[in-house]
Structure 1
């Protein structure tokens, strides 16, 4: 038999996967391209065929069905079909092909390697048994034909030719047979050689036997078999070597044909056209042929003297000890009985002769008149083949194989020749039973595999076993041995038999049977009523209709876990094979249950592993060296900067490595794949992303997988991105290296921070002081400014009085400016932040700065096209003028003043300590005397001045610094003694355009009284001055000294058209009063007035006026309010 597996699987990689699986398990295979190729390969021979269901659908698959139909009767080639599974309905064409194939084992998808391998191995075993049966049948048939030739009255030459042809036909190795006959002079003569050339047979005809006369002459001389495997080099063929080689004969085995007396009658030779040693299969038929040829030759030589020598005839017959030869007279009585018959049947000739020829037939055959029928058939047809059970003298049975033929002559009668073929017959029966068991267990495994759960699997097994044994009932029971009970959930029952499902007590089996089952001993009862006594389970069995039972327990871990029981409703003689079948079904069912449980646990374990790997952000890799394939999941690809859907090869791995790590990483991988080293692949390396160019650190581990020969099949393992860890390690190394320097820097920075904090606290305290002073001072200035403004406007007095009033107003304005600077320093000056075109503002102030600094100072203005800055234009102009005056005072002998504006990007660590972003930088630089480090450190302190007494307030730089901070910017100063000073204001960029926020000057219209104004202020002088201004503007004024008094006025029902209120007052504040008005009289406008510009809790859009103020400033606010 050609022991290979033919594979036809056109879809995907099914064929290659199957071939690889077979190769790993030592099974040869061949992948066929299409059904026609498969048919061609089948003609060359095969152990089995593995085919997918879709391969059976094409039209040329009909050729496969035709080939199957054309197989010899003994051949039933097994097919293992990989079915599509329940998700894909089977086509009509596929169903038809499956029916045509016949010997089919279906495997449903998804496939399992163990199931496929088991099915193929079972198919191979079945195919081998088919060949064994074929050979056994062919051998038996040939032996029968040879026996027929032996008993026929054919010429010796024809009989020997027929015997040789039968032997040649049985050979699978191209054997050429030859029979030589030994004559009275010791020479070998040609007897039969139908396949040898006549030139050869003529050349050896008449050779004398001797010790060195080829194979045949030597065998006849030695009277023992002679096997020459290589004629060209064997010394026995020295004189005949050239003759044999000339005719293509390379090996010759020869056996002497001897008579019953041991005389050499001739030789039987087997020639081969290749050098080879004898095999047991070759010798099985040869021994029979030699004995039969001896009988034939003996018979031929004695036929001429048969009538004259009965004794000689008897010797020949007696010599055939392997055959029983019995002669019968016309009435079927034994007339002759050779020694072979005596040995086989057990009766001596004296005992047998005269007895009926039915002496050795079974009682059943005698009852059926088989002996008589056999003689009648022999008389009618010339022969009657005999293949049946016979009985010996001791009543044991044997399977007799032979034939009966009529005897010629006047006396007539019959001769019956037969031999014992019990072993062969039982082997054939065992083979058939084995094949039946194989098919049964194949179907059982398929049903178990398809079962949804253990309960369904057990039900399927019970049904199949019950049908197989033709039992009344088959049940599977779970056992709770601790509680002395078992329950049958469901069972198989034959038609008309009730189910035994239910719960039972183990005690019902009786104490002995229950104890035996706990020990794993099978309970076998052939006749319940006859074998069991009361209390041994007889009552329970009979109550549910059981007259015979086999109960097979399953004991696992020393505990009775389950039972499988087969019931019969009548006594039954259970055979050992049936009992063994039940036991194996129980073991397989339990194995299936355990396997399903193990698979479920494996899936759960794999799921836990998958979740652990995903949560740990671990990737894996698998290098399939045999198929040159690299497997990377998406996580691993990401570590090399490759998208999840992009295929990868080992080139991507090598090119993705950092050049400095490529050599070491490659060496580690090669060491892991080396059969001698088999090292652990444990390496950290850097990758450079193929698509993103990002540098990453990766930790990889893995090992090689090797086959039995030491070849590395694959290298697989895990990867983990450790970029963050490496960065942390590097940072730690740097920290360790620079720790001392950093500590020193940190100490210095801490001291600096402490100093800055002290300065900040000092500034904050000063700010609170100056803010409070400014607030009170504004309250004092308000009536002064208001009164002087009224005197100026009314022109009271003469020129001298007006000069005095103007001087007083100038002093008041200077006081007002001083207060504004104090407020700016204290960051309590109200800012009207808008988008300011700094370049335009700087350019517009160029003339003012030049007139302020004088002709000795050269003023340079450089204003780029910069984005609008967020600032208060009035305060910014004042700050710029302050800085210009400071620069002028630093250059008494003249110099250059440079004013510039530009957009600058600020990053981390900038001297301004601003947040990163784009800012407008306003620079005022002079070439004056500059400042030393001590002066520079105190430059922004309030009231600190270097100009001398009466020449400066010491609030200029403080005001600028406060302004920048209020706007969300910063001020920086660079200065060195004798090198000039550069002051830079860093202003935030506005999100609005300057055009959108700029407002043109609107002259104040004449405000005429349109009602009653409620004036609220706790300062009487302020209230008096403001009331006069409101009266001049045409309003009737109602005064209130507190907010509570104002609420009373409002709630009193008087007409009020406008409320003007101070903000900070004892008790209720002006803001709280305004909110009260918004709630009770929302149509009434409210104007807040305060000398403390920072109004906490006041809405940004609430109209307000800062003290001190003139009449026109009050008028402007009222105009805007009422408008």
Structure 2
């Protein structure tokens, strides 16, 4: 798995990931590889850290393939490149950038709008190390803005046309019909799944090859024994050398078949114990009798080793990992030393103690009189010396880096000086290898003196500390980088614990009205009283316990809009405060808060809401009040048509007035339904037991009365009893039937086909007229939308199909449409048998 290349300091790493704001860090490479992300960003984008880190930015966040006009990737890439080129923050305009929904939530893409800022993180030399990407989700605000703008234009159009109710198409809606969207998403999900599977296999293979290479090149003996027979699954060259076997002689074989002489020496019991209990076993200088030479006799050897259990995904012990080192020479040397005088025995014990204080230590032994040196194999490997190379003190100094040589020699001489402490400890660099590699060594030792104070033995150890030195240097650099990232965040960020505010970036100090962190901490006790924070929701004064920062400190992540008094200008501002606890393990050690000034945005939102409310009330009032004069017109016209006093040549004009008034009534009814639907979240219905077939017959009969020259056919199969609002369904079916008659050629029949589908029923209304244009088909159910006005001078407002879909949805169903030149046009209503209100 990709290893995050950002700093790994426990405090700053945890702090960055728990920031309440949505932040992302990318490398300034060709693909803008992602290396760090806050939890808030993961929640906002419906992603996971494992699915993002190590991958190119736009591989994780591609454009929505269903949106042909998507420009998110192009605009964001341009902004990142500008920040990289100018080395200055780049603030983008609000962007439409859809995000991919997780498979568990249905897949596909979700429409989102963002306000992004891209900030370069510079090294002390001015190089761009990282790019900090900060976003804020402004989807709801943008949608509200779009809705307000559309409604203002529609209101102006209605007024300019003297309430003729013929509204032009204003804006485009969704680009794809739901069925096409689901199909494309399914195909895309399948392709993505195949790509991810291949990528996972490749990544797993790379991991396996890397681990195998690591084991095979490790400077210690490693083997893996699997199962109760201890099949040798892996044995690196060093362990084969210890066993005196070639890899092909042991791999894939049970341990005690490959090494029969090891049976009966107690290793079976040790391995069985680890396999049964899962408790590691550490063996120190355990003897073993092995035949290291082919056909040779058994020889006694000594090992330091660890039997470590290896568990499967369910936590069961399935194998034993062995890490061993040959300490035969060390044991034999100690035994020889034990035969010497008491002083030499004490020196040998000291040597052993030093060797056991650290892992992978090299041991050295120097005779101060002659300068002769003895190095064990670890030190020789560390310095790249063959086993047979003679060593003395001048040779050792020649292997020390020239810049460190004088310092090392001085410390050695001080340790050997009579009357001194006799101790020696130093970090130094060795002479670079042929490939230029520079390594660091830590060495410590102790000098031993005779009765006269003359040094007689100088013993010590050496340890390669290159990785530790690099890690320490990198930690310092990473800490500085993380501090730069925090200071580069454009929002006000501050972190505190029980002792006060520990971190506050420049925007935080400016928002709070202080010049420095020290000044802020001097007034932190009275900060709440000075700010006088109030809830933006109901205006009440926040108590200390209600403050978002204090709630986060108690372990409650909080996002709250607060009205505060700016300490510099004394003006009230609206601040969105997002606060979260900072945890180490299960302990809360502090809290972090990000404050964003949203005063202007809240003002704009309020204006848009007021405009929207005025528009809805205006439409409702106008639509309702227009019914009264229309009803009067219809009553008068009907009375005139029934009167014997009406002149015959005036009857046609009276009927035209009646037809226009009825049409106006339908349009007003559509507007009222539209207004109710938009204000109340849907068209209200009153379900009761009803028969869908009876409703369809009634609708067909009414259409036949108004269109005696047209043929309407009704067919059904099954049971059509259920619980619906029969009046609303008659309105729905009447709208669809009238549309079918209006758009089908004379003489062509219109078919109503009912189907019993178990828990649901369906009605298909088909006509053989010209097809709906392909570009309009996905938007046919949008308000104020018509397929065409050609040949229909009395076309309505374009609300009929919108109301049809709203009535269907109020019943828990939906309406679909298909239209081709060969098959004609078919609207299909799907209904559950009962409505859950």
Structure with the larger helix share = 1
Same structural fold, with TM-score higher than 0.5 when normalized by the shorter chain: no
Decide which structure has the larger Cα Rg and report it. 1
- Of structures 1 and 2, the one scoring higher in RCO (CA 8 A, sep 6+) is 2
TM-score by length of 1: 0.20
TM-score (norm 2): 0.26
